[in-house]
Amino acid sequence: MKTTLALIKRNRKLFFRDKGMLISSLITPIILIVLYGTFLANIYRDSFLSALPDFFKISDKLVDGTVASQLAAGLLAVSCVTVTFCVNLTMIQDRASGARKDFNVSPVKRPLIYLGYFFSTVLNSLMVNLLALALCLGYIGIMGWYLSVADVLWLILDEILLVLFGSILSSIVCYPLKTQGQMSAVGTIVSAGYGFICGAYMPISNFGSGLQKVLSFIPSTYGTSLLKNHMLRGVFEEMEKEGIPTQAIAGIRDSVDCNPIFLGKVVGTGWMLAIMAGTIVILGILYLLITDLKKE
Protein backbone atom coordinates (compact mmCIF):
# COMPACT_ATOMS: atom_id res chain seq x y z
CA MET A 1 0.00 0.00 0.00
CA LYS A 2 2.81 2.43 0.89
CA THR A 3 4.49 1.69 -2.43
CA THR A 4 1.32 2.37 -4.38
CA LEU A 5 0.66 5.60 -2.47
CA ALA A 6 4.22 6.73 -3.15
CA LEU A 7 3.80 6.02 -6.86
CA ILE A 8 0.49 7.89 -6.94
CA LYS A 9 2.09 10.89 -5.25
CA ARG A 10 5.01 10.78 -7.66
CA ASN A 11 2.75 10.61 -10.74
CA ARG A 12 0.57 13.45 -9.50
CA LYS A 13 3.63 15.65 -8.96
CA LEU A 14 4.73 14.96 -12.52
CA PHE A 15 1.26 15.92 -13.77
CA PHE A 16 1.30 19.28 -11.97
CA ARG A 17 4.90 19.89 -12.99
CA ASP A 18 4.04 19.51 -16.69
CA LYS A 19 2.31 22.85 -17.25
CA GLY A 20 1.29 21.98 -20.80
CA MET A 21 -0.52 18.81 -19.71
CA LEU A 22 -2.11 20.57 -16.73
CA ILE A 23 -3.36 23.58 -18.69
CA SER A 24 -4.67 21.50 -21.59
CA SER A 25 -6.61 19.30 -19.16
CA LEU A 26 -8.08 22.26 -17.27
CA ILE A 27 -9.16 24.26 -20.32
CA THR A 28 -10.79 21.28 -22.04
CA PRO A 29 -14.09 21.65 -20.09
CA ILE A 30 -14.12 25.41 -20.72
CA ILE A 31 -13.65 24.89 -24.45
CA LEU A 32 -16.41 22.28 -24.47
CA ILE A 33 -18.82 24.62 -22.67
CA VAL A 34 -18.20 27.36 -25.23
CA LEU A 35 -18.56 24.97 -28.18
CA TYR A 36 -21.67 23.31 -26.79
CA GLY A 37 -23.31 26.61 -25.92
CA THR A 38 -22.44 28.09 -29.31
CA PHE A 39 -23.25 25.27 -31.72
CA LEU A 40 -25.62 22.85 -29.95
CA ALA A 41 -27.88 25.06 -27.83
CA ASN A 42 -30.17 26.08 -30.71
CA ILE A 43 -30.34 22.51 -32.01
CA TYR A 44 -31.37 21.21 -28.58
CA ARG A 45 -33.88 24.04 -28.19
CA ASP A 46 -35.55 23.31 -31.54
CA SER A 47 -35.62 19.58 -30.79
CA PHE A 48 -37.24 20.21 -27.41
CA LEU A 49 -39.87 22.62 -28.71
CA SER A 50 -40.76 20.30 -31.60
CA ALA A 51 -41.64 17.55 -29.11
CA LEU A 52 -44.34 19.73 -27.53
CA PRO A 53 -47.86 20.25 -28.89
CA ASP A 54 -48.12 23.42 -30.99
CA PHE A 55 -50.86 24.90 -28.81
CA PHE A 56 -48.89 24.48 -25.58
CA LYS A 57 -46.85 27.36 -24.18
CA ILE A 58 -44.20 27.06 -21.47
CA SER A 59 -41.96 29.58 -19.79
CA ASP A 60 -38.69 30.63 -21.39
CA LYS A 61 -36.90 29.78 -18.14
CA LEU A 62 -38.02 26.16 -18.36
CA VAL A 63 -36.94 25.94 -22.00
CA ASP A 64 -33.54 27.47 -21.19
CA GLY A 65 -33.15 25.23 -18.15
CA THR A 66 -33.94 22.13 -20.20
CA VAL A 67 -31.45 23.03 -22.91
CA ALA A 68 -28.75 23.97 -20.40
CA SER A 69 -29.21 20.73 -18.45
CA GLN A 70 -29.00 18.64 -21.61
CA LEU A 71 -25.88 20.50 -22.74
CA ALA A 72 -24.24 20.07 -19.33
CA ALA A 73 -24.98 16.34 -19.24
CA GLY A 74 -23.48 15.84 -22.70
CA LEU A 75 -20.41 17.92 -21.85
CA LEU A 76 -19.70 16.01 -18.64
CA ALA A 77 -20.23 12.67 -20.37
CA VAL A 78 -17.50 13.56 -22.88
CA SER A 79 -15.16 15.34 -20.47
CA CYS A 80 -15.11 12.55 -17.86
CA VAL A 81 -13.69 10.10 -20.41
CA THR A 82 -11.62 12.20 -22.82
CA VAL A 83 -9.78 14.07 -20.06
CA THR A 84 -8.45 10.77 -18.71
CA PHE A 85 -6.59 10.23 -22.00
CA CYS A 86 -4.91 13.63 -21.58
CA VAL A 87 -4.05 12.98 -17.93
CA ASN A 88 -2.71 9.47 -18.54
CA LEU A 89 0.30 10.75 -20.50
CA THR A 90 2.60 10.04 -17.52
CA MET A 91 2.65 6.36 -18.40
CA ILE A 92 3.85 7.16 -21.92
CA GLN A 93 6.31 9.81 -20.78
CA ASP A 94 8.01 7.33 -18.45
CA ARG A 95 8.56 4.97 -21.35
CA ALA A 96 9.82 7.74 -23.62
CA SER A 97 12.21 9.13 -21.00
CA GLY A 98 13.52 5.74 -19.90
CA ALA A 99 12.17 6.04 -16.35
CA ARG A 100 10.31 2.76 -16.79
CA LYS A 101 13.64 0.92 -17.07
CA ASP A 102 14.40 1.95 -13.48
CA PHE A 103 11.02 0.64 -12.35
CA ASN A 104 11.56 -2.63 -14.21
CA VAL A 105 14.74 -3.46 -12.29
CA SER A 106 13.23 -2.43 -8.94
CA PRO A 107 11.66 -4.98 -6.53
CA VAL A 108 8.24 -3.36 -7.01
CA LYS A 109 5.73 -5.66 -8.68
CA ARG A 110 4.57 -4.49 -12.10
CA PRO A 111 0.82 -4.43 -11.26
CA LEU A 112 1.56 -2.02 -8.40
CA ILE A 113 3.39 0.30 -10.77
CA TYR A 114 0.40 0.39 -13.09
CA LEU A 115 -2.04 0.79 -10.21
CA GLY A 116 -0.06 3.91 -9.37
CA TYR A 117 -0.65 5.23 -12.90
CA PHE A 118 -4.33 4.32 -12.72
CA PHE A 119 -5.16 5.93 -9.37
CA SER A 120 -3.19 9.09 -10.14
CA THR A 121 -5.16 9.35 -13.39
CA VAL A 122 -8.42 8.95 -11.44
CA LEU A 123 -7.51 11.66 -8.92
CA ASN A 124 -6.27 14.14 -11.51
CA SER A 125 -9.26 13.53 -13.78
CA LEU A 126 -11.69 13.95 -10.89
CA MET A 127 -10.10 17.29 -10.06
CA VAL A 128 -10.60 18.52 -13.63
CA ASN A 129 -14.12 17.13 -13.99
CA LEU A 130 -15.35 18.42 -10.64
CA LEU A 131 -14.26 21.83 -11.91
CA ALA A 132 -16.24 21.12 -15.09
CA LEU A 133 -19.28 20.18 -12.98
CA ALA A 134 -18.99 23.44 -11.03
CA LEU A 135 -18.86 25.41 -14.30
CA CYS A 136 -21.86 23.51 -15.64
CA LEU A 137 -23.88 24.12 -12.47
CA GLY A 138 -23.04 27.82 -12.72
CA TYR A 139 -24.24 27.83 -16.34
CA ILE A 140 -27.47 26.05 -15.37
CA GLY A 141 -27.96 28.50 -12.50
CA ILE A 142 -27.90 31.36 -15.00
CA MET A 143 -30.17 29.68 -17.55
CA GLY A 144 -32.68 27.92 -15.28
CA TRP A 145 -32.05 25.95 -12.07
CA TYR A 146 -34.29 22.95 -11.28
CA LEU A 147 -31.80 20.71 -9.46
CA SER A 148 -32.10 19.50 -5.87
CA VAL A 149 -29.25 18.69 -3.47
CA ALA A 150 -29.89 14.99 -4.11
CA ASP A 151 -29.57 15.56 -7.86
CA VAL A 152 -26.17 17.22 -7.41
CA LEU A 153 -24.96 14.35 -5.21
CA TRP A 154 -26.10 11.85 -7.84
CA LEU A 155 -24.26 13.84 -10.49
CA ILE A 156 -21.05 13.63 -8.45
CA LEU A 157 -21.49 9.84 -8.19
CA ASP A 158 -22.12 9.65 -11.96
CA GLU A 159 -18.92 11.61 -12.55
CA ILE A 160 -16.91 9.27 -10.31
CA LEU A 161 -18.21 6.23 -12.19
CA LEU A 162 -17.46 7.75 -15.59
CA VAL A 163 -13.99 8.89 -14.52
CA LEU A 164 -13.24 5.39 -13.21
CA PHE A 165 -14.50 3.96 -16.51
CA GLY A 166 -12.47 6.44 -18.55
CA SER A 167 -9.34 5.93 -16.44
CA ILE A 168 -9.35 2.15 -16.73
CA LEU A 169 -10.20 2.34 -20.44
CA SER A 170 -7.39 4.82 -21.14
CA SER A 171 -4.98 2.73 -19.06
CA ILE A 172 -5.72 -0.37 -21.15
CA VAL A 173 -5.51 1.55 -24.43
CA CYS A 174 -2.32 3.39 -23.41
CA TYR A 175 -0.52 0.32 -22.09
CA PRO A 176 1.04 -0.79 -25.41
CA LEU A 177 1.87 2.78 -26.54
CA LYS A 178 5.50 3.90 -26.38
CA THR A 179 5.61 7.46 -27.73
CA GLN A 180 3.74 10.68 -27.07
CA GLY A 181 2.91 10.86 -30.79
CA GLN A 182 1.02 7.59 -30.54
CA MET A 183 -0.80 8.87 -27.46
CA SER A 184 -1.72 12.13 -29.16
CA ALA A 185 -3.14 10.20 -32.12
CA VAL A 186 -5.24 8.01 -29.83
CA GLY A 187 -6.41 11.03 -27.84
CA THR A 188 -7.47 12.80 -31.03
CA ILE A 189 -9.47 9.80 -32.21
CA VAL A 190 -11.17 9.40 -28.85
CA SER A 191 -11.98 13.11 -28.57
CA ALA A 192 -13.44 13.19 -32.07
CA GLY A 193 -15.52 10.03 -31.91
CA TYR A 194 -16.47 9.35 -28.31
CA GLY A 195 -19.11 12.08 -28.09
CA PHE A 196 -21.06 10.54 -30.98
CA ILE A 197 -20.74 6.97 -29.71
CA CYS A 198 -22.00 7.76 -26.20
CA GLY A 199 -24.86 10.00 -27.37
CA ALA A 200 -23.46 13.24 -25.97
CA TYR A 201 -23.42 15.28 -29.20
CA MET A 202 -26.58 13.82 -30.67
CA PRO A 203 -29.11 11.63 -28.82
CA ILE A 204 -28.89 7.98 -29.82
CA SER A 205 -32.65 8.05 -30.37
CA ASN A 206 -31.96 10.09 -33.52
CA PHE A 207 -29.82 7.32 -35.03
CA GLY A 208 -31.08 4.44 -37.14
CA SER A 209 -32.56 1.41 -35.38
CA GLY A 210 -29.60 -0.79 -36.31
CA LEU A 211 -27.03 1.63 -34.89
CA GLN A 212 -29.15 2.10 -31.77
CA LYS A 213 -29.03 -1.64 -31.12
CA VAL A 214 -25.26 -1.70 -31.57
CA LEU A 215 -24.70 1.27 -29.26
CA SER A 216 -26.94 -0.30 -26.60
CA PHE A 217 -24.12 -2.80 -25.99
CA ILE A 218 -21.62 -0.02 -25.18
CA PRO A 219 -21.46 0.72 -21.41
CA SER A 220 -20.74 4.43 -21.85
CA THR A 221 -24.22 4.82 -23.34
CA TYR A 222 -25.65 4.20 -19.89
CA GLY A 223 -23.15 6.51 -18.20
CA THR A 224 -24.38 9.35 -20.42
CA SER A 225 -28.00 8.42 -19.72
CA LEU A 226 -27.35 8.48 -15.97
CA LEU A 227 -26.10 12.06 -16.23
CA LYS A 228 -29.11 13.07 -18.32
CA ASN A 229 -31.58 11.44 -15.92
CA HIS A 230 -30.17 13.16 -12.86
CA MET A 231 -29.53 16.46 -14.64
CA LEU A 232 -33.08 16.63 -16.08
CA ARG A 233 -35.11 15.10 -13.23
CA GLY A 234 -36.10 18.48 -11.79
CA VAL A 235 -36.90 19.79 -15.28
CA PHE A 236 -39.36 16.96 -15.94
CA GLU A 237 -40.93 17.54 -12.51
CA GLU A 238 -41.41 21.22 -13.35
CA MET A 239 -42.99 20.27 -16.69
CA GLU A 240 -45.60 18.25 -14.83
CA LYS A 241 -46.34 21.24 -12.58
CA GLU A 242 -46.83 23.45 -15.64
CA GLY A 243 -49.38 20.99 -16.98
CA ILE A 244 -47.45 19.52 -19.90
CA PRO A 245 -49.17 16.27 -20.96
CA THR A 246 -47.62 13.09 -19.59
CA GLN A 247 -47.29 11.66 -23.08
CA ALA A 248 -45.34 14.72 -24.22
CA ILE A 249 -42.96 14.44 -21.26
CA ALA A 250 -42.46 10.73 -21.99
CA GLY A 251 -41.66 11.62 -25.60
CA ILE A 252 -39.09 14.19 -24.47
CA ARG A 253 -37.49 11.68 -22.09
CA ASP A 254 -37.19 9.17 -24.93
CA SER A 255 -35.82 11.78 -27.34
CA VAL A 256 -32.93 12.75 -25.00
CA ASP A 257 -32.00 9.12 -24.14
CA CYS A 258 -33.28 9.12 -20.57
CA ASN A 259 -34.94 5.76 -21.32
CA PRO A 260 -32.30 3.71 -23.18
CA ILE A 261 -33.50 0.40 -24.59
CA PHE A 262 -31.55 -2.85 -24.44
CA LEU A 263 -32.97 -5.88 -26.28
CA GLY A 264 -36.40 -4.31 -26.39
CA LYS A 265 -36.57 -3.37 -22.70
CA VAL A 266 -36.13 0.03 -21.05
CA VAL A 267 -33.07 0.16 -18.77
CA GLY A 268 -33.73 1.85 -15.42
CA THR A 269 -31.21 3.99 -13.55
CA GLY A 270 -30.49 1.19 -11.08
CA TRP A 271 -29.45 -1.12 -13.90
CA MET A 272 -27.41 1.67 -15.49
CA LEU A 273 -25.43 2.04 -12.26
CA ALA A 274 -24.93 -1.73 -12.12
CA ILE A 275 -23.77 -1.84 -15.76
CA MET A 276 -21.21 0.91 -15.20
CA ALA A 277 -19.93 -0.60 -11.94
CA GLY A 278 -19.73 -4.08 -13.47
CA THR A 279 -17.86 -2.77 -16.52
CA ILE A 280 -15.33 -0.99 -14.32
CA VAL A 281 -14.69 -4.18 -12.32
CA ILE A 282 -14.31 -6.33 -15.46
CA LEU A 283 -11.97 -3.85 -17.16
CA GLY A 284 -10.03 -3.49 -13.91
CA ILE A 285 -9.42 -7.24 -13.73
CA LEU A 286 -8.40 -7.24 -17.39
CA TYR A 287 -5.97 -4.37 -16.75
CA LEU A 288 -4.32 -6.19 -13.85
CA LEU A 289 -4.01 -9.36 -15.92
CA ILE A 290 -2.44 -7.48 -18.82
CA THR A 291 0.09 -5.67 -16.65
CA ASP A 292 0.98 -8.83 -14.72
CA LEU A 293 1.29 -11.28 -17.62
CA LYS A 294 2.48 -9.23 -20.58
CA LYS A 295 6.19 -8.48 -20.55
CA GLU A 296 7.52 -5.12 -21.78
Highest-pLDDT range among 20-24, 63-67, 161-165, 168-172: 161-165
Q: Dihedral angle at the C-alpha atoms of 8, 224, 232, 35, nearest 10 degrees? A: 80
3-class DSSP assignment, residue 107: coil
**pLDDT confidence of residue 233:** 93
Query: Distance between CA 278 and CA 219 in Å, rounded?
Result: 9
175 forms beta bridges with none
pTM score over 0.75:
yes
Q: By the 8 A CB rule, do 67 and 143 touch?
A: yes
**How far is C-alpha 84 from the geometric centre of its chain's CA atoms?**
9
Query: Distance between CA 30 and CA 28 in Å, rounded?
Result: 5
User: 195-206, pLDDT tens digit by residue?
Assistant: 788 877 778 877
User: 139-186, pLDDT tens digit by residue?
Assistant: 899 888 999 999 999 999 999 999 999 999 988 988 888 777 777 777
Task: Give the residue-averaged pLDDT of 284-289.
Answer: 90
